[in-house]
Amino acid sequence: MKRKLNVHDVPEEVAEAAQEEVKPVAIKPTADFASLGLDPRLLQAVTKEKFSAPTPVQAQAIPLALAGKDILGMFDSYIRSSTKQY
């Protein structure tokens, strides 16, 4: 049994079939923050901090966040740490 708040902030049951399946979203990588549609003030702060290009995760997450979507990012740190050269 799942619940969701209605317009009066009262919990109501939600039918299981009403839930939509979440699928991964493929977004083309971007070369700079300006092409992500950020607010000019935020873009100015990013530039001031000398960030030149978004990471792949940022390039995918920022457009989703601006569209009001929920985001869950995952990274396999084992692969990255196990390939370091000492």
Top mean pLDDT of 34-38, 43-47, 61-65, 79-83 is at 43-47
Q: State which amino acid sits at residue 42.
A: L
Query: Is the pLDDT confidence value at 18 over 70?
Result: no
Query: Is the pLDDT confidence value at 48 over 90?
Result: yes
Which residues are paired to 4 by β-bridges? 12
Pair 32, 53: CB distance under 8 Å: yes
Pair 13, 3: CB distance under 8 Å: yes
| Per-residue pLDDT reduced to its tens digit, 52-83 | 889 888 888 888 898 888 888 776 666 555 55
Pair 27, 60: CB distance under 8 Å: yes
Q: Are strands 2-5 and 11-14 parallel, antiparallel or unpaired?
A: antiparallel
What is the residue whose two structure tokens read 């979203």?
25
> Of residues 63 and 24, which shows the higher confidence score?
63
Average pLDDT score over residue span 28-48: 87
pLDDT of residue 2: 72
